[in-house]
Structure 1
Amino acid sequence: MGLTAGWAYGEFRAPEYAATSYVIIVPGNAAERVNAVGFAQAYGRIATSDSNLARAQQAAGIGTRQLRAQVHSETSPDSPVIAITGVSRSPSGSSDIANAVAEALSVNGNHVAKSTGVQLQVFSKAVTPTDPASAGVRLTTAIGGCLGGLLGALCMVARPTGHGRHRKSGGHHTRESPPGAHPSAGSPGPSWPDSRQFTDSGGQRPGGPR
Structure 2
Amino acid sequence: MDLEQATRMGEEVAEKVLQYRRDASGWKICREGNGVSVSWRPSVEFPGNLYRGEGVVCGAPEKVWDCLKPVAGGLRVKWDENVTSLEIIQSFTEMLCISRTSTPSAAMKLISPREFVDLVLVRRYEDGTIGSHAKHVEHPLCPQRPNFVRGFNHPCGCFCEPLPGEPNKTKVVTFFQTDLSGYLPQSVVDSFFPRSMSGFYANLQKAVREFHD
Scaled to the shorter chain, the TM-score interval is under 0.3
TM-score (norm 1): 0.25
TM-score under structure 2 normalisation? 0.24
Relative to total residues, which structure has the larger helix share, 1 or 2? 1
Question: Which has the higher relative contact order, 1 or 2, with Cα contacts under 8 A spaced 6 or more apart?
Answer: 1
Q: Which has the higher strand share?
A: 2
